[in-house]
């Protein structure tokens, strides 16, 4: 995911805990704002940044479905690695199979669309909106992008080049454990007009 995020001045990482993507992207940006809904999860980001010696990450407790006018149109890139079912990492977390039902995926889809709709307002003209999940379900991936409707919000979907093998979909790339490595995940990259 971090390889797909282009360099720039400001990155907003909207669902950032535990902070790995913010830390990895910190060398590509002058400022990184890492947002997390819950304080205890925000503290994980702070701890990770401290352990890695990263100084340009500012952690904020924020709901990514709620507009923050401080971020309006300022970001070169906005990364939305949204809450999802997690079925792409089921090998690492086998309890996912026991604790998820189909209605969870429907509810998560609605949250994912709400996050994209809100966070798309933070991208400046010419900037990028990157959406990702660790899901293998179309409802959380291409169908979320379709429901968001990039063109309606002033975005074009970009071609993605990745060193990992994946399956190109209508809007992004679906990575699967048996062809991409040890996990399944999805990414879509969009550029604002």
- Provide the annotated active-site residues: 134
The string of DSSP codes covering 57-77 is EEEEE--TTS--GGGTT-EEE
71-109 burial, b for 16+ CB within 10 Å, e for fewer?
beebbbbbbbbbbbbbbbbbeeeeebeeeeeeeebeebb
Between CA 46 and CA 67 the distance in angstroms is 23
């Amino acid at each position: 995911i971090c390889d797909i995020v282009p360099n720039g001045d400001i990155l907003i990482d909207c669902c950032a805990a535990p902070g790995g993507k913010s830390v990895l992207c910190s060398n590509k940006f002058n400022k990184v704002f890492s947002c997390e809904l819950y304080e205890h999860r925000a503290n994980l980001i702070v701890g990770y940044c401290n352990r890695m010696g990263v100084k340009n990450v500012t952690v904020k407790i924020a709901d990514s479905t709620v507009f923050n006018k401080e971020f309006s149109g300022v970001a070169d890139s906005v990364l939305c690695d949204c809450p999802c079912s997690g079925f792409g990492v089921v090998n690492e977390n086998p309890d996912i199979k026991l604790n998820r039902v189909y209605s969870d995926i429907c509810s998560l889809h609605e949250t994912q669309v709400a996050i994209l709709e809100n966070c798309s307002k933070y991208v400046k003209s010419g900037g990028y909106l990157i959406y990702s999940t660790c899901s293998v379900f179309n409802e959380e991936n291409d169908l979320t992008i379709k429901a968001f409707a990039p063109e309606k919000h002033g975005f074009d979907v970009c071609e993605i080049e990745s060193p990992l093998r994946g399956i190109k979909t209508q809007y992004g790339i679906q990575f699967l454990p048996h062809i991409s490595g040890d996990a399944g995940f999805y990414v879509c990259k969009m550029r604002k007009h």
